[in-house]
């Protein structure tokens, strides 16, 4: 099937209490691994492509890889711009074939974030593309984003509810204590914020920085209204560990298929485990 908007599965996720994983693509092997995992789990999925990944792979390659994956697997797959930084990049991605976009205006004052996000929603919805907005500042490092612990600010529930009412985004990322990248300790998730916001908006909440969050915390977050969870770091850790080990143990290995193939397998297993944990297995 063709790439779908997140509205193909997010309303069902909110209603039935599961979450759909966004798995970031970094190269061909990631796309193959994530798609295979989806096929084996019969799970809907979201390919996340950051601006950094788009620069690395090329915009048209990103779209082509995702399209082929959706067509050949028959799975409901959304291709989603991760942390889009401007109206211009969002439009560029939609025109190239993205079925979903995130506009991250979280670093703007609330009024400006609402104004800019609304503009993105109007344009995207006109062509059937779903939009994720963000409120509060999620800490950690991811591609072009680098937010120190002091600068990370939790989302204010009243502001989050108003943000959704005015922008009508299809999914809302709010800062609730998770961070991009690896955790040093265990993240302190503010379940009260998730619960309060979720009860007052009509769409699922998005949890960024899903890597390394304990399974029980993930399950609790989903039960309170999280319907989309972003995972990237755990796949990077799992695949790089395999490559490092193989190359260290086999100094003569030069065929990329010999080390990227096993790395792909490691990503697939990681993604499958997440799909089961998120409850999206069997929902495609």
Of 208, 264, 268, 272, the one binding Zn ion by CB under 5 A: 208
Stretch that binds Zn ion, among 54-62, 84-92, 187-195, 202-210 (CB under 5 A): 202-210
Smallest gap from Cβ 209 to Zn ion, in A, equals: 7
Stretch that binds Zn ion, among 26-34, 48-56, 161-169, 208-216 (CB under 5 A): 208-216
| Cβ atoms of residues 42 and 283 within 8 Å | yes
Write the CB contacts of 197 (distance below 8 Å, at least 6 apart in sequence).
155, 157, 160, 161, 164, 172, 174, 205, 225
Q: Does 228 interact with Zn ion (rule: CB under 5 A)?
A: no
> Between 118 and 208, whose beta carbon lies closer to Zn ion?
208
The count of residues interacting with Zn ion (CB under 5 A) is 1
Stretch that binds Zn ion, among 68-76, 93-101, 110-118, 203-211 (CB under 5 A): 203-211
> Between 167 and 230, whose beta carbon lies closer to Zn ion?
230
> Between 24 and 281, whose beta carbon lies closer to Zn ion?
24
> Between 178 and 281, whose beta carbon lies closer to Zn ion?
178
Binding residues for dihydroxyacetone phosphate, by number, are 181, 209-211, 230-233
Any idea what the Cα angle at residue 230 is, between residues 198 and 116, rounded to 5°?
65
Smallest gap from Cβ 196 to Zn ion, in A, equals: 21
Stretch that binds Zn ion, among 36-44, 200-208, 217-225, 265-273 (CB under 5 A): 200-208
Does 82 qualify as catalytic in the annotation?
A: yes
Cα–Cα dist 275/34, whole Å: 10
> Between 10 and 260, whose beta carbon lies closer to Zn ion?
10
Binding residues for Zn(2+), by number, are 83, 104, 134, 180, 208
Smallest gap from Cβ 50 to Zn ion, in A, equals: 8
Phi, psi of 195 (to 5 degrees): -65, -50
Q: Which residue is nearest to Zn ion (CB)?
A: 208
| Contacting residues toward Zn ion, per CB under 5 A | 208
| Active site members | 82
């Amino acid at each position: 099937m063709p790439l779908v908007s997140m509205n193909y599965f997010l309303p069902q996720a909110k209603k039935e209490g599961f979450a759909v994983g966004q798995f970031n693509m970094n190269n061909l092997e990631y796309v193959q691994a994530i798609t295979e995992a989806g096929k084996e789990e019969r799970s809907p999925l979201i390919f996340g492509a950051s601006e950094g990944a788009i620069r690395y792979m090329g915009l048209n390659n990103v779209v082509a890889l995702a399209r082929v994956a959706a067509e050949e697997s028959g799975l409901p797959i959304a291709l989603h711009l991760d942390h889009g930084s401007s109206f211009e990049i969002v439009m560029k991605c939609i025109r190239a074939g993205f079925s979903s976009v995130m506009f991250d205006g979280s670093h703007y004052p609330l009024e400006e974030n609402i104004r800019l996000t609304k503009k993105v929603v109007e344009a995207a919805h006109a062509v059937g593309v779903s939009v994720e907005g963000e409120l509060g500042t999620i800490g950690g490092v991811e591609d072009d984003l680098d937010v120190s612990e002091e600068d990370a600010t939790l989302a204010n529930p009243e502001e989050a509810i108003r943000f959704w009412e005015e922008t009508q985004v299809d999914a809302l990322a709010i800062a609730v204590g998770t961070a991009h990248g690896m955790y040093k300790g265990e993240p302190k998730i503010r379940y009260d914020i998730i619960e309060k916001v979720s009860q007052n908006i009509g769409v699922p909440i998005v949890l960024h920085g899903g890597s390394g969050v304990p399974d029980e915390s993930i399950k609790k977050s989903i039960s309170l209204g999280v319907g989309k969870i972003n995972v990237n770091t755990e796949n990077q850790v799992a695949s790089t560990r395999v490559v490092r080990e193989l190359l260290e143990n086999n100094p003569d290995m030069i065929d990329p298929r010999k080390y990227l193939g096993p790395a792909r397998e490691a990503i697939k297993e990681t993604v499958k485990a997440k799909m089961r944990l998120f409850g999206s297995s069997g929902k495609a």
